[in-house]
Structure formats: structure tokens, C-alpha cells
A and B are shown apart, each in its own frame.
Chain A
């Protein structure tokens, strides 16, 4: 019975991440795009999927993973997110340099661009803080607050960015994935805040390496 529940949770997660990717892979728009542009687009879609997994991992909501493994995976997937964003932006730059430069300089006519660019900088900021936080002498509490605030920027920025884009993603599966990403982030943050309020040590142990 417990095994069935574990399998169900993992299957649901895999579905939530893979269905939007599969739906985008069936988009008719792909026929008129070059390989670099296609790669850039899918890097963005995959990054959105990883954003659903991240909070679930760190909060220990995924069954069958020890807290240590969950934390490790959270770090590695964080690194993968940075790589995906670099491929996304780099591929779009190669596809149409002036459009990408406009987006990065916040002078783009497309309303979704600034949301994506802000989320990108927030992702880079979390990654840099995570790598250098010991050397910077950041207190655990400071780091956690910074990470949580930046995570809010990342999630909101990415979801608005994705929803406003008319691209290869299929509308319903995109909206569903975005809703799940938002819901997961809200749930995990609410639980963390509640735990701290109650003064239990569990939240503390989760963030400690």
C-alpha cells in the first residue's frame, strides 16, 4: 500500500513535468524553427519543470528520498537550472541577437521579457550565494531569508514569463505546470514559516548542510 502511494507520487510528478515537454515537442511551430532556437525553447520548458521539483526536494515531500539525498539533488538541480537558463538565453541570442539584447536591456517590446530576465538574475544570485555563502560568512538565517525571497522572484517571474509567451508550449499543459510550480512554492514556504513559528528544529535541520 505504501509502495503504491510512493509510486503514485513519483508518477504524478513525472507526468506534471513530462506532459508539457511532450506537448511542446508536438508543436507545429517547430517545423519553422532552427535547431538552436528549438534547443533554447526546450531549455526554458525544462527549467520550468525543474522549478516544480526544487521545493518538493528540499522540503522532503518526495517519498523514498532521505533528507541528505533530497538536499543533494536540490543542489544539483539548482546547478542544472543555471545551465538551462544559460542555454535558453544563449540559444535565443544566437537565433536573433537584437531581440535578445533588447530583452536583456529591458527595452524589449514583448511584455514577458523583463519577467524572464529578472527571474534569470535571481537564479544566478541564488546559485552564487549558495556557492559562496560560507566564504561570505553568511549566517544560516540570512541565507535562508535571501534564498526564499529570491525563490519568490524566480517562481513569479518564470510563471508570468511562461504564461505570456506565445510559443511551442501547449496552453493547457503550460497553465497546469505553472499552477503546480506556484502551488509547490507556496506550500513549501508556508510550511517552513509555520514550522519556524512553532519553534521546532525540523526546518533548521533541513536547511543545514
Chain B
């Protein structure tokens, strides 16, 4: 298949996942080997609007949401996967349609979408991402920014075939 993006973060994530599955594998021998699927985060699906349009950019941009999508087990990057993104930004609240958009992963399983600056809402500056296309199990993520001043945020998916 195509090249796997290798950087410190991915190695750490992969290493951690391998460790996690290794340990749980001992306890639950029936589970698949290798990279564990990403579980949905609590509150991840809040203010979700199914079917957000695929866009080049949400609103006027200025903030970057990026991440990777891989397959559980072998960790193969998944190309062409639709990731939906929404957040409370300088251009709208979380539930408003203009705050929602979607993008597709490239051949390396990476995605990157420009959107307006995320600002703190409900006490934390955070974004929402969803994989909800049916081929794999649905996953909702809710990453939190380390500081409200940051202008980018990352989220990584490991998807499990249905």
C-alpha cells in the first residue's frame, strides 16, 4: 500500500495502541490483533448535524484542523474517507450549519481542513470530528486545545470495519 506517515506523534500513538492492545489482548484473547480502534469520546457527538457538505474551507478560515485515518488491526492508512468537522468558532455556534463542514483523506490517510478560529465554549476550547459513513464503525471525537490561542488542532482515527 502507500507510505505510512512516520513522525514522533504517530509512532507514539501507534506504540501506545500496540501496548494497549497487547495488554488487553492478554485479558481478552478473542480481540483482533494490532492497532486498536479509536473509541468515541464522551460528548463527541454533541451538536452533530449528519451530512455536512464537503468543502474546501469552512467560512473564512484561519485555523487548521488536521489528522489521520487508519484501519484498526494493521494500521493501514485509509484514503478517501469523509471526516466531518464542527466547532464553536468566531463565525458561529456549534449547532449552526455554517460551523459544519467535511473533508476527505488523501492517499496517506491524512486530512486537513481550514476553518474559522475555535474559541472556548462550555468552558473548554474544543472541536468535534465525526467519521459516520457506514463502511467502518462510527466514531465521534472531541479534542481539546491546550490553549485558546492555538490556531490548529489534531485528531486521529483508527477505524474498525463494520
A173 at interface, CB cutoff 8 A: no
Cross-chain contact A98 with B47 (CB below 8 angstroms): yes
Cross-chain contact B43 with A29 (CB below 8 angstroms): no
Cross-chain contact B47 with A96 (CB below 8 angstroms): yes
B41 at interface, CB cutoff 8 A: yes
Q: A32-B90, A102-B42 are in contact. Are A167 and B123 (CB under 8 A)?
A: yes
From B44, B45, B120, give the contact of A29 (CB < 8 A).
Answer: B120
Cross-chain contact A29 with B119 (CB below 8 angstroms): yes
Residue of B nearest to A103 (CB): B122
From B43, B46, B148, give the contact of A166 (CB < 8 A).
Answer: B148
Segment among A106-114, A117-125, A143-151, A188-196 that sits at the interface with chain B:
A106-114
Within 8 A of A (CB), among B28-44: 41-44
Best-surrounded residue of B41, B45, B119 (most CB of chain A within 10 A): B119
Q: A96-B94, A166-B125, A166-B148 are in contact. Are A32 and B43 (CB under 8 A)?
A: no
The distance from the CB of A200 to the nearest CB of chain B, in whole angstroms, is 44
Number of A-B contacts (CB under 8 A): 53
A204 at interface, CB cutoff 8 A: no
Cross-chain contact B123 with A112 (CB below 8 angstroms): yes
Within 8 A of A (CB), among B74-114: 88-90, 93-95
The distance from the CB of A106 to the nearest CB of chain B, in whole angstroms, is 10
The interface on chain A, measured as residues whose beta carbon lies within 8 A of the other chain's beta carbons, has a size of 19
Point out the residues of chain B lying under 8 angstroms from A32, CB to CB. Answer: 88-90, 93, 119
B10 at interface, CB cutoff 8 A: no
Cross-chain contact B41 with A166 (CB below 8 angstroms): no
Point out the residues of chain B lying under 8 angstroms from A29, CB to CB. Answer: 119-120
Bits for A129-145, please: 1 = Cβ < 8 Å to B, else 0.
00000000000000000
Question: A141 to B106, alpha carbons, bound, how many Å?
Answer: 70
B133 at interface, CB cutoff 8 A: no
Cross-chain contact B123 with A98 (CB below 8 angstroms): no
Cross-chain contact B93 with A99 (CB below 8 angstroms): no
B70 at interface, CB cutoff 8 A: no
Point out the residues of chain B lying under 8 angstroms from A108, CB to CB. Answer: 42-43
Point out the residues of chain A lying under 8 angstroms from B71, CB to CB. Answer: none
Question: A32 to B121, alpha carbons, bound, how many Å?
Answer: 10
The distance from the CB of B144 to the nearest CB of chain A, in whole angstroms, is 8
Point out the residues of chain A lying under 8 angstroms from B90, CB to CB. Answer: 32
A207 at interface, CB cutoff 8 A: no
Cross-chain contact A102 with B123 (CB below 8 angstroms): no
The distance from the CB of B107 to the nearest CB of chain A, in whole angstroms, is 33
Question: A108 to B42, alpha carbons, bound, how many Å?
Answer: 6
Question: A29 to B124, alpha carbons, bound, how many Å?
Answer: 12
Point out the residues of chain B lying under 8 angstroms from A166, CB to CB. Answer: 120, 123-125, 148
Question: A167 to B126, alpha carbons, bound, how many Å?
Answer: 12
Point out the residues of chain A lying under 8 angstroms from B47, CB to CB. Answer: 96, 98-99
From B44, B93, B125, B144, give the contact of A34 (CB < 8 A).
Answer: B93
Point out the residues of chain A lying under 8 angstroms from B124, CB to CB. Answer: 110, 166
Question: A112 to B38, alpha carbons, bound, how many Å?
Answer: 25
Please name the 7 residue pairs, one residue from A and one from B, whose CB atoms are nearest each other, closest first: A98-B46, A165-B123, A109-B43, A109-B42, A166-B120, A99-B122, A102-B43
Binding site for B on A (CB under 8 A): 29, 32, 34, 92, 95-96, 98-99, 102, 107-110, 112-113, 164-167
Some 15 contacts from A to B, beta carbons below 8 A apart, are A29-B119, A29-B120, A92-B122, A96-B47, A96-B93, A96-B95, A98-B45, A99-B46, A99-B122, A102-B43, A102-B46, A109-B42, A110-B43, A166-B124, A166-B125
